[in-house]
Amino acid sequence: MKTIVIISAICVCVGALTLEELQIGLRAAVPVCRLETSIDKSQEDNFRDGNIDVENEKVQLFSECLIKKFSAYDDDGNLNEVVVREIARLYIDENEVNKLVAECSVITDANIRLKSSKLLKCFAKYKTLNEMMNA
């Protein structure tokens, strides 16, 4: 039953997402990604505060895990702008959403893990993971 609740919380529905639903999803996804990637506490704490070491392999894995949990990549590994906008609108105004998308959507890298950490570092300029989880 616990697994079903976690999976349901992680599978967010774009278009009907509320702040509370996103926070529930984040609170479910972060521990799962922590276990899957073995990121250490200090790295995770730094990550949550927006200090994202894009070159660190565990940080890259953690970033990729979080992005995938929220379907922020399409099937080809491109940023899913619809999902990013939906999530960002819960925290910042439309002007800032447009700036975030314009700034972050140009990030590319053949290494999906490195790309993921760069994207989340870019997103953190607007809202850190801690700010999102505790809004």
CATH of residue 58: 1.10.238.20
Domain count for the chain, please give it: 1
The whole model's pTM is what? Answer: 0.86
Whether residue 10 is contained in a domain is answered as no
Q: Which pLDDT does position 5 carry in this prediction?
A: 41
For 100-122, how does the pLDDT look when each residue is reduced to its tens digit (9 = 90+)? 999 999 999 999 999 999 999 99
Residues with Cβ within 8 Å of residue 27, at least 6 apart in sequence = 9, 133
Whether residue 6 is contained in a domain is answered as no
Q: Which residues form the domain of 122?
A: 19-132
For 51-102, how does the pLDDT look when each residue is reduced to its tens digit (9 = 90+)? 999 999 999 999 999 999 999 998 888 899 999 999 999 999 999 999 999 9
Question: Looking at the predicted structure, is the pLDDT value of residue 9 above 50?
Answer: no
Whether residue 12 is contained in a domain is answered as no
Whether residue 50 is contained in a domain is answered as yes
Angle between helices 94-104 and 81-88 (to 10 degrees): 140
